Amino acid sequence: MEKRLASVLGTSAKHVLTALKRAFHAVAITGFVTAIIVGAGTEVTAYFLTGKTFPPATATHVAAVALAIALGYAAAITIAVEEILRAIIKTIELIVEESEKLAGSALHEGIQEAEAFGHGVVSGTGTLAREAAGVAGGIGSAVGGAVRSAESHLHGHDGGSPSGNPTPGPSA
């Protein structure tokens, strides 16, 4: 049981670390790509809005950089939250799956132990019943023998009546 639990924890940790690695890559790529697209889009928009003047004014460059950083950061954080939630969900699913397997094996072991205990109880009960029947039979034989012996002594050894007179036999 402990081995399986350690395995679940190890697998969960592996999934979390893999998810963090993937999240960092996704955050970096998403933030960089979004910043490039927003910066370039701002510059192109400024070119068309200023009457196709090239290069645009310094304020346009400052606005493009500010927008690129802000929107790149927002996109990166959104991806980070998504990746973290995905990792949490995957880890919970893994833990539930392993817990179900662990509960199933524990139930199976419990049933096997209960069956073994039940067989032992039934076997022991049968043995006790046979021994009790033997003892009861022995006691019954002993009591029967004692009763016959007492009757024999009471009737006299001749098989007569208790008064000592011989039992009348069949008339001839």
Domain count within the chain: 1
Specify the pLDDT at position 62: 92
Structural domain contains residue 60: yes
Structural domain contains residue 57: yes
pLDDT digits 0-9 by tens, 33-63: 999 999 999 999 888 888 877 787 888 889 9
Q: How confident is the model at residue 145 (pLDDT cuts 50, 70, 90)?
A: low
Percent of the chain scored above 70 by pLDDT? 65
Domain that holds residue 92: 2-114
- The Cα–Cα gap between 64 and 121 comes to 84
Residue 168 sits at the vertex; the CA angle it makes with 164 and 147, to the nearest 5 degrees, is: 50
Structural domain contains residue 41: yes
Structural domain contains residue 59: yes
Collect all residues with Cβ–Cβ distance below 8 Å to 162 and sequence separation of at least 6. Answer: 154, 155
Between these two residues, 19 and 159, which has the higher pLDDT value? 19
Collect all residues with Cβ–Cβ distance below 8 Å to 165 and sequence separation of at least 6. Answer: none
**Residue 59: how many other CB atoms lie within 10 Å:** 9
Structural domain contains residue 165: no
Structural domain contains residue 159: no
What's the one-letter identity of residue 156? G
Q: How confident is the model at residue 172 (pLDDT cuts 50, 70, 90)?
A: very low
Q: Whole-prediction pTM value?
A: 0.52
